[in-house]
Structure 1
């Protein structure tokens, strides 16, 4: 279940590439989360009847979730799927978990261990190898491409979304937090999408485009979300997070098979560095377990 959920996130890179053939990145982002909102809102009402109501600054927090993780991140995400090779963008975004650790330390005062620092160094080195394709000196002479800045903004936005999400989860469930974030993000994207798209574009868009958007709405944004958090309840967040490493792997495989993108040796080297860094930086040290078979694991206690 967890493997299917996280692998489907990789398919969003391919679906985004197809969808941006007919629509702009802003329009694709809007339609993706508009349809997701239509599913998440009734789901939240049915599942969270006793949920706490947002008040005061909590509305600001939820709005920031929508701004960083839904609006800004997805605009950058779909620009990248349109303009950058998917192999490059998916592997670069894979360095995200380690940046989340760094921001959590800065803003949430979470402790950074030597393992986190080693993972951060490996992941950032891998990201640099992917971006420059190993040509560090030529990049220094000519400068980075604009799409590299877009990818960097995407990574920063998702890391901020994750850190803000940790704060929101102290009060709201994951379903409630995500639903509010999606709704706020959709509202923020709406005026820009309406200025950007015309009715003939909507009616003339191909079935492949609409199918890609619905895939991202239903499978990537809703179904995989439910499966992922169900997995967290069963085995705990620490173990479940390891499955996120399947996202760039599935994206690269699909890009090579479906889009015919080249997989260069330098991409493989960078991917190994990124995935190793993420695994090292996010994996907690093993703790001594009580041999009593009747004891409930710590992770399950937290999820319950």
Structure 2
């Protein structure tokens, strides 16, 4: 045997190292998305932030999407339009709208509910089964969400009259992701994940371009408003790294490791988002920490195999 050949143990260790590397990179990218949205909103409207995010992601993936168009049938095109809408387009606008009244750190925590929405949507519309563990996790996470909704300055927990309704934009985005992942799981057996990501973004790219340049003041702000170029730079990072590249890395990680390991990025994203928020001067109250722990613990219980 040649001396430069790797043993099975070495290969396994190398694969584990790659998987952990992808996990950490993804957590940093996705966890930083919320502070980038916040920076974009300092100049641009929620609609402009959402549309530009899609434009940046769709344009950077054109080399991957256009060559694959010729191999699609009508059913795939229809499903890819739906995936583009619920997996990227609509959530981009919802997250931007939510962060006009919600801190970036708490938005990151609410985003952790996505795996549980995958379970709920799957049970309601795709005939998958909710287990007892899923139900327990949902209940615990729901308690955490309620705590996060009602906490306010000057009290530990607040009351139901203090609910920040903008959090529901994030939960609606999580529900969109739940629909998206179930569609990919049950209706795209024949397409590779990278192709799904690239083509679905291409499907919604024209709508984002038309809205951004025909129905908003984005072009005017970009040339006339101080700080607009810098804000657009943050949004470019958001689209290219936080949407396009991150989705490709996630798909690679699923192959290098396992879907269960890949899903653990869900628990790291809120930590990164909270760190960025605290660094940026956001304040978390005692009740927030109770809610955060309940959400993450509930998602862990409900998503555990």
Q: TM-score normalised by the shorter chain: which range applies? A: 0.7 to 0.9
Contact 1:101 1:112 (8 Å CA) reproduced = yes
Post-superposition Cα deviations, 1:129-175, rounded to whole Å, max 9, x if no partner, equal 11112877732xx3744413323322222222222222343121111
Q: Report deviation, 1:52.
A: 7.9
What's the C-alpha RMSD, in Å, of the aligned pairs?
A: 2.2
Listed as ranges, the gaps of 5+ residues in structure 2 are: 1-21
Q: Report deviation, 1:45.
A: 5.7
Q: 1:200 aligns with which of 198, 220, 232?
A: 220
Task: Determine the structure 1 residue equivalent to 2:110.
Answer: 92
Distance in 2 between residues matched to 1:146 and 1:111, nearest whole Å: 30
2:294 is paired with a residue whose SS is helix
Contact 1:6 1:228 (8 Å CA) reproduced = no
Listed as ranges, the gaps of 5+ residues in structure 1 are: 285-304
1:271 lines up with 2:271 in the alignment: no
Contact 1:16 1:81 (8 Å CA) reproduced = yes
Task: Determine the structure 2 residue equivalent to 1:159.
Answer: 178
Q: Report deviation, 1:275.
A: 0.9
1:77 lines up with 2:95 in the alignment: yes
Contact 1:14 1:254 (8 Å CA) reproduced = yes
Post-superposition Cα deviations, 1:51-76, rounded to whole Å, max 9, x if no partner, equal 88222232221111122122211111
Q: 2:159 aligns with which of 116, 121, 138?
A: 138
1:1-304 alignment runs, 5 A limit = 1-44=22-65, 53-133=71-151, 138-139=159-160, 142=161, 144-193=163-212, 194-204=214-224, 206=227, 207-257=229-279, 259-284=280-305
Instruction: Give TM-score scaled by structure 2 length.
Output: 0.84
Q: Report deviation, 1:209.
A: 0.5
Distance in 1 between residues matched to 2:256 and 2:268, nearest whole Å: 19
Task: Determine the structure 2 residue equivalent to 1:302.
Answer: none
Distance in 1 between residues matched to 2:276 and 2:167, nearest whole Å: 22
Contact 1:67 1:188 (8 Å CA) reproduced = no
Q: Report deviation, 1:198.
A: 4.7
Distance in 2 between residues matched to 1:198 and 1:280, nearest whole Å: 43
Post-superposition Cα deviations, 1:211-250, rounded to whole Å, max 9, x if no partner, equal 2112112221222222222211111111111122111111
Distance 1:252 1:92, change over 3 A: same
Post-superposition Cα deviations, 1:98-130, rounded to whole Å, max 9, x if no partner, equal 111111122222222111111111111111111
Distance in 2 between residues matched to 1:217 and 1:11, nearest whole Å: 12
How many residues matched?
A: 278
Distance in 1 between residues matched to 2:166 and 2:106, nearest whole Å: 11
Q: Report deviation, 1:274.
A: 0.9
